[in-house]
Amino acid sequence: MKINQLNHTALPVQNLEKSCQFYQNVLGLAPIARPAFNFPGAWFGMGDQQELHLISKGTIFEVPPLDRHFAFRVDDIHAFAAHLQEQQIEFVGPKCRPDRALQIVLRDPDGHVIELCTKPGIAPD
């Protein structure tokens, strides 16, 4: 059980179109494909394997809210779930994202939202 990378950072944005123009035209990030989530947003590539996820502010999420979070890609989501249970850490998941990645969501001691996720396509159909 280990963390393989900082996979993405997600930010809530007031104006999705204006923010997309900023990150693409000012910072030079390339838009990348985004799964069919049921809320508006955009994804950008950063380097070879990291991403920036923009989420329209005001999007309503389940608890904990995911509009501002960072995500670690992990090698074994089920081992992490068992480890979190042993440590008596509250979490949600594993749940399947639209891209068939599995994710767990938890909070650190200061309330920051952390997502643990697998590579897309891992979850069974």
If one counts the domains in the chain, the total is: 1
CA 111 to CA 114: how far, in whole Å?
Answer: 9
Would 47 be classed as within a structural domain? yes
Query: Could you tell me the residue range of the domain that residue 17 belongs to?
Result: 3-117
Would 123 be classed as within a structural domain? no
Cα Rg for the chain, rounded, in angstroms?
Answer: 15
Would 124 be classed as within a structural domain? no
Helix (H) or strand (E) holding 81: helix 77-86
CA 63 to CA 92: how far, in whole Å?
Answer: 8
Structure tokens at 122: 């891992």
Whole-model pTM: value is 0.76
List per-residue pLDDT tens for the chain, 125 residues long: 899 898 899 888 889 999 999 899 988 899 999 998 888 999 999 988 899 999 887 665 554 566 678 899 999 999 999 999 999 999 999 999 898 999 999 888 768 889 999 998 877 66
CATH code (residue 52):
3.10.180.10
